[in-house]
Structure 1
Amino acid sequence: MELTDLTKLGTLNLSMNHLTGQIPSSTGNFEWIETLHISRNQISGPIPLSMTSLTFLNHLNLSYHNLSGKIPTTNQFLTLDDPSIYQGNAGLCGRPLSTECPDSGQSKPGDDEEDGDGDGGAKFEKLGFIISIVIGFFVGFWGVCGTLIIKRSWRIAYFYFAGSVYTGVDFCKKLRGSYIVRSTMACAIPGV
């Protein structure tokens, strides 16, 4: 049995264990992993793309290795934007690090939109969200206000209700005020 066969593992901390070699591509088999710390070892090579399938991953530490190549910019790696989790890896480049990747077959951090993957989908999703909010506002606003404009009986009932709410709130404020005055006077005047 290998470590990566433990698919239901939630936390794995292999920091400072003098591990060598590369991060195995089977690391993507950890279906439920939330925390993965493998910092301060002698691991080299690229970050395997299979790690982008770790959908529950919210804590990652790959600092102080000899890792190289572009940091993945898809799926869960979009949320892992703290540069300190990659520090100490002079060969790493791309987002969230300030080091841009060279043009030798790898894209720069901002080129994901042109490739059709990565950030382009997020922009489309954000645009769809904004459009749905605007449409929802207009439908809700004009659904209520349009009905009040068109149906006279609803308009009368609405303004009657709004007036009665205002009257009720005003009445409660006056009652509360008189209660406070009365209780203050009861403390100041003996026998009241």
Structure 2
Amino acid sequence: MGALVGLRNLNVSRNKLSGDIPISIGNLRSLESLDFSNNELSGSIPLSLSTLTFLSHLNLSYNNFSGRIPLGHQLQTLNDPSIYEGNNGLCGFPLPIECSDNKTTSQSFALEKGNGPEKYAGAIIGFAVGAWTVYGALLLNKAWRVAYFVFVDNMYDRLYVIVILNWARIMQK
């Protein structure tokens, strides 16, 4: 199922499916609508379901799901409790049933952890080191600095001539 990355709508309701929702459901990045209602699915709702950013319709009602409803991105926008109706073992937002364990904060933190500035720290550091390598070399080596500015001036002159010639052609027509 996880290989169907272009899939937009999946409705397998009322098919007497059993077992767990595969974790690979998170690979369906284009999924907008998902309906697993009225089956015999069990287990917990996979955390990967919350990574489906285009998901606007979800129905997991009348199955045998249990455990905490995953927190995070898209699932928090789907706050209608009827989505999870008929799953007596579920707890957590948006249901009024509180979970007895204290995993709410750790689960949402684990999901959010890779999406802050630390996600881009490597790219930022790499950019800074690369930029200072180039600018440092230009700053310290006069011959390279002169060659660089001569190159930039020549490119500016060429671009200016091309723009002026094309503008003249357009005005003639």
Q: Taking structure 1 as the reference length, what is the TM-score of the superposition?
A: 0.55
The corresponding residue for 1:11 is: 9
The corresponding residue for 1:29 is: 27
Q: In 2, Cα distance between the equivalents of 1:44 and 1:6?
A: 22
Matched, 1:68 2:66: yes
| Residues 25/115 of structure 1: CA separation in 2 closer, same or farther (3 Å cut) | closer
**CA positional deviation for 1:31:** 0.9
The question of whether the paired residues in 1 share the 8 Å contact of 2:47 and 2:70 is answered with: yes
Matched AA of 1:65 = N
The corresponding residue for 2:48 is: 50
Q: Which has the higher contact order (CA 8 A, sep 6+)?
A: 2
The corresponding residue for 1:180 is: none
Q: Secondary structure at the match of 2:93?
A: coil
The corresponding residue for 2:79 is: 81
Q: Secondary structure at the match of 2:74?
A: helix
Q: In 2, Cα distance between the equivalents of 1:116 and 1:55?
A: 16
Matched AA of 1:83 = P
Matched AA of 2:55 = L
Aligned residue pair count = 113
**CA positional deviation for 1:18:** 0.5
Q: Determine what percentage of the aligned residue pairs are the same residue.
A: 51
Deviations 1:52-72 (A, max 9, x none): 110100100000000001111
| Residues 115/17 of structure 1: CA separation in 2 closer, same or farther (3 Å cut) | closer
Give structure 2 stretches of 5+ with no counterpart.
114-173
| Residues 116/86 of structure 1: CA separation in 2 closer, same or farther (3 Å cut) | closer
Deviations 1:108-135 (A, max 9, x none): xxxx3x88728x99xxxxxxxxxxxxxx
Matched, 1:106 2:103: yes
Q: Secondary structure at the match of 1:15?
A: coil
The corresponding residue for 1:117 is: 109
Q: Secondary structure at the match of 2:24?
A: helix
Q: Taking structure 2 as the reference length, what is the TM-score of the superposition?
A: 0.60
Runs (4+) off by over 6 Å:
none
Q: Secondary structure at the match of 1:99?
A: coil
| Residues 12/101 of structure 1: CA separation in 2 closer, same or farther (3 Å cut) | same
Deviations 1:122-169 (A, max 9, x none): xxxxxxxxxxxxxxxxxxxxxxxxxxxxxxxxxxxxxxxxxxxxxxxx
The question of whether the paired residues in 1 share the 8 Å contact of 2:70 and 2:107 is answered with: no
**Structure (1 or 2) with the larger CA radius of gyration:** 1
Matched AA of 2:31 = I
